[in-house]
Amino acid sequence: MTGHISAIFVAPSKHAEQLAFDAVQLKAKKGIVGDRFFGYRQKQPGRNLTLIEWEVIEEFNQTYQLNLPLNATRRNLITNGIRLNGLVGKTFKIGQVECRGIELCEPCKVMARHFPATSLSQTDIIRAFINKGGIRAEVLTDGVVRLGDEIFSDIISM
């Protein structure tokens, strides 16, 4: 099973606007260089990187007739063509960078608070993304992730 990276976002500090990049440097056990969570919670693996499916954002937009920007979900990598929930507990590659899916990245108030103004409540937004909020992954090897990089999920199962 493969997919690819459609967008890359980094927030330089807590609650800062996420900025789009064509490529980012990842460091093992630390995450994205320059991101607000770089090196954060090293004792809790899986806080290195967040991913969400483009298809989930598109479904949300169609369901609620909105034009939610890709960075509103506060996730680092937007994927296309791969089901992320199936990567929890598995090792996979994004380009040449090896990662391990740790847990679902369920929606929270912080994510909902950063959405553009809509008629939806924060509770409605959170409910819409339950079990669809993407995953948290641990970065296992250093490397660069670029727009268009393939995601290979058939590497190793835990």
- Model pLDDT for residues 24-56, shown as the tens digit of each residue: 999 999 999 999 888 876 566 667 899 999 999
User: Considering the entire predicted model, what is its pTM?
Assistant: 0.90
Token match 């690819």: residue? 4
Alpha helices in 3-157 (DSSP H): 54-64, 109-113, 122-129
Look at residue 111 in the predicted model and tell me its pLDDT.
Answer: 76
In degrees and rounded to multiples of 5, residue 21 shows phi and psi of -135, 155
**Domain range list for the chain:** 2-157
Task: Classify domain 2-157 at the CATH topology level.
Answer: M1 Pyruvate Kinase; Domain 3 (2.40.33)
Look at residue 154 in the predicted model and tell me its pLDDT.
Answer: 66
